[in-house]
Amino acid sequence: MRKTVYLVSTLMVFSLLITSCNFLKKASLNQGCEVYSDIEMAYTDKSEMAVDINVYKRTVAGFLNYLDAGDKEGLKRLLSDTLLSRDGIDEELDDLFEGFEGHIIETTYIASDTYAGLPGCYEDDFYVTTDKETYYIYLEVISEDSVGGDLIGINQIQIMTLDRRYEVEIDKTEFWEYIHSHPEGGKKGDHYNLTYTFQDGEVKTVKVDRLIGVDCFILTSFGSSEGYIKINTLIKPNECYVWKLTGTTDSISAEELETIDFTDIETVNEVFGELEPYAMPDETYYHDREFRFYNLSDRDSSEKIYVYYGSDSTVPRVRIFDLDKIFVDQEW
């Protein structure tokens, strides 16, 4: 059995988990999630979105089918009437299809039905790998008549390359002003603006149509995912985040790890303080801020040293982790 270096209690094994999101396979702890290629009975039209199980997964599968085929008119069949009635919707969809490059190879895990606060309203995000690029995608879906027939279907689409997702900042000033002045949740014709600032300084303002508490809009932003990687640092295999590769050649060997006194915080900090991390987390996500990955010189390239520094000045927790495996497949 592979030797794993770690300084954690049994409890920490369950509370501090990292899983790979690259070309995932079904696993016993997949939380009801599946990859795109495994999803059955994909929707082709919003009229099929009756109250049912797996609404979100089946909507995602239908969405990706149309996206992969470059079928704009087909995709429209999945969009809510509210989203379809937006000014400039055709131009927004043109931008989406023009920016999405290649054919889909696979996705990260896609959640079953993640409740979004209203009856029949589901939301979640996932990552898509094509033969040319990798994309972050977020969809919000409504399937029940009880919230208004105009909202049945996909109401929100966000799609961007990994570099655009990394450390993006969102100005929600108008959102909060709108919420405070429209306690009823909004009526047809109401809207506000969201402003996105990307790490390269580009600013994009998006008009958001809001109806009965549902935000309807399309956000697209395309650059290049080269130099970035998606990693899951939470127990659910569908929860992935973007990390930025440093390009470092710094590394440490498994043999060297065996000589380290992991009960001595100063020693541990000194060893890893001299190494540049393999990748840096998105600082806009709190739970990733204290995590680091380092190159392991004498193992497969997918195997890294994972260090959790924490924020309580305790000894960092260290273990070997294989980025090509999901959590349930790791040898702890």
pLDDT score at 188? 84
pLDDT score at 51? 64
Confidence band of 264 (pLDDT split at 50, 70, 90): confident
Percent of the chain, pLDDT > 90? 54
User: Which position has the higher pLDDT, 113 or 27?
Assistant: 113
Backbone angles phi, psi at 75, to 5 degrees: -60, -35
Distance CA 67, CA 218 (A): 14
pLDDT score at 159? 98
For the chain, the residue count is 332
Token pair in block for residue 42: 């994909």
User: Tokens 């009856």 correspond to what residue?
Assistant: 119
Q: What is the mean pLDDT of residues 82-90?
A: 95
pLDDT score at 10? 30
Q: Average the pLDDT over each of 5-9, 148-152, 272-276, 309-313 and give the range with the smallest value.
A: 5-9
Q: Is the pLDDT of residue 24 over 60?
A: no
Please give the mean pLDDT across all residues of the chain.
84
Burial of residue 179, with CB atoms counted within 10 A of its CB: 0-12 exposed, 13-18 middle, 19 or more buried: middle
Token pair in block for residue 265: 């915080």
| pLDDT tens sequence across 288-303 | 677 889 999 998 899 9
Q: Coil, strand or helix: which one is 257?
A: helix
Confidence band of 145 (pLDDT split at 50, 70, 90): low
Q: What is the mean pLDDT of residues 24-39?
A: 62
Q: Coil, strand or helix: which one is 275?
A: coil
Token pair in block for residue 5: 């270096």
All residues at 6 or more sequence positions from 319 whose CB lies less than 8 Å from its CB, including other chains = 4, 5, 6, 8, 305, 306, 332
Q: Is the pLDDT of residue 75 over 70?
A: yes
All residues at 6 or more sequence positions from 85 whose CB lies less than 8 Å from its CB, including other chains = 150
Q: What is the mean pLDDT of residues 36-58?
A: 89
The total of other beta-carbon atoms located within 10 Å of residue 28's CB is 6
pLDDT score at 8? 35
Q: Which domains does the chain have, with CATH numbers?
A: 10-21+240-329 (no CATH), 36-162+207-221 (3.10.450.50)
Q: What is the mean pLDDT of residues 259-282?
A: 89
- The answer to whether the beta carbons of residues 122 and 141 sit under 8 Å apart is yes
